[in-house]
């Protein structure tokens, strides 16, 4: 964006670690005439942590008022003012407000630019270990009803890797729904990315549904779902008894207890913990091979 020309600029903000706020983002937010944000309290705290004054510049921009705010914001940008847009975390306009404002500004001939940076979607995708050459962002699924069923049905038929955003309270239900449709599909459940207790769980949809069904999961969650096999390609062979025995054997040889070896193998192969535990007991009883 040319200095003094005005326009709309999307600014990525940290998804957890404040150290991820880039110097360019700091400069842009400090120089902006208006800073649009989902929650003025959260953005005020972010600006304060970065040493950026926010008084008189913050404007709320959320799902319920974005349409109404667009005319004044486009007019401000067209008059030469810089309108910065942030979300509560990550890149605005990705399952967050901003897309409609960008479309309206572009249609009006107002310059739109971006300060790239943190994104929960891309962070989860690249750390998942699943294919990244073709992917789509599903965002938040409908909570219930026919729309939810149709979206889930379409998701499991998609050959691309899919990124799903989910509330911790609904994680178990969503994993259960995925498992009922594609139990062997690989998934990664990413929690608290960039934060102190960051966790990435990898396995099958069935194993994920079992693992998280009885666990409270605090923090932000992203689910990455592997794509359906391309038509005409053979499906991967599910793990057999030898595969499970080999997996638990590796963990036992590394000093793990029977219980820990079974848990690790179940997570690794996407089999039930009971199957893995029985295999671990059998391997332990048989002793090391000679």
Collect all residues with Cβ–Cβ distance below 8 Å to 49 and sequence separation of at least 6. Answer: 18
- Position 133 scores a pLDDT of 94
Please tell me whether residue 223 adopts helix, strand or coil conformation.
Answer: strand
Please tell me whether residue 90 adopts helix, strand or coil conformation.
Answer: strand
- Position 270 scores a pLDDT of 79
- Side by side, the strands of the sheet bearing 135-140 are 135-140, 161-166, 221-225, 186-191, 199-204
| DSSP state at residue 84 | E
User: What backbone torsions phi and psi does residue 90 show, to the nearest 5 degrees?
Assistant: 85, -150
Measure the CA–CA gap between 227 and 224, rounded to whole angstroms.
10
Measure the CA–CA gap between 94 and 115, rounded to whole angstroms.
14
Measure the CA–CA gap between 189 and 90, rounded to whole angstroms.
18
- Rounded to 5°, the CA angle 30-35-38 comes to 135
29 near 77, Cβ under 8 Å? no
Report the predicted TM-score, pTM, of the whole model to 2 decimal places: 0.77
- Position 243 scores a pLDDT of 82
Measure the CA–CA gap between 10 and 111, rounded to whole angstroms.
11
- The residue written with tokens 């025995």 in the block is 245
Give residue-wise pLDDT tens across range 105-161: 999 999 999 999 999 999 999 999 999 999 999 999 998 899 999 999 999 999 999
Tell me how far apart the terminal alpha carbons of the chain are, to the nearest angstrom.
69
Closest by Cα among 103, 29, 32, 120 to 66? 103
Backbone Cα Rg of the chain = 23
Closest by Cα among 205, 165, 157, 202 to 185? 205
Give residue-wise pLDDT tens across range 77-106: 999 999 999 999 999 999 889 999 999 999
Please tell me whether residue 199 adopts helix, strand or coil conformation.
Answer: strand
Give residue-wise pLDDT tens across range 195-247: 988 999 999 999 999 989 878 888 889 999 999 988 765 455 567 788 888 88
């Amino acid at each position: 964006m040319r200095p003094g020309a005005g326009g709309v600029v999307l600014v990525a903000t940290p998804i957890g670690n404040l150290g991820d706020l880039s110097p360019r983002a700091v400069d842009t937010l400090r120089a902006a005439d208006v800073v649009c944000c989902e929650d003025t309290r959260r953005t005020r705290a972010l600006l304060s942590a970065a040493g950026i004054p926010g008084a008189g510049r913050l404007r709320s921009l959320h799902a319920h008022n974005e349409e109404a705010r667009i005319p004044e914001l486009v007019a401000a940008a067209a008059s030469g003012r810089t309108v910065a847009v942030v979300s509560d975390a990550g890149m605005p306009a990705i399952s967050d407000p901003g897309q409609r404002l960008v479309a309206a500004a572009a249609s009006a001939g107002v310059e739109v630019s971006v300060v790239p940076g943190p994104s929960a979607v891309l962070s989860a995708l690249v750390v998942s270990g699943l294919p990244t050459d073709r992917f789509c962002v599903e965002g938040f699924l409908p909570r219930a009803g026919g729309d939810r069923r149709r979206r889930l049905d379409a998701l499991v038929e998609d050959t691309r890797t899919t990124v799903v955003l989910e509330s911790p309270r609904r994680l178990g239900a969503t994993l259960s729904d995925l498992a009922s449709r594609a139990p062997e599909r690989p998934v990664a459940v990413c929690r608290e990315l960039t934060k102190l207790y960051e966790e990435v769980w990898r396995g099958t949809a069935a194993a994920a549904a079992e693992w998280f069904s009885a666990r409270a999961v605090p923090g932000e969650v992203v689910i990455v779902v592997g794509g359906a096999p391309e038509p005409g390609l053979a499906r991967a062979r599910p793990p057999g008894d030898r595969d499970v025995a080999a997996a638990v054997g590796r963990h036992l040889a590394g000093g793990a207890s029977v219980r820990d070896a079974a848990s690790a193998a179940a997570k690794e192969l996407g089999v039930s913990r009971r199957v893995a535990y029985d295999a671990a007991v059998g391997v332990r009883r048989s002793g090391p091979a000679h």
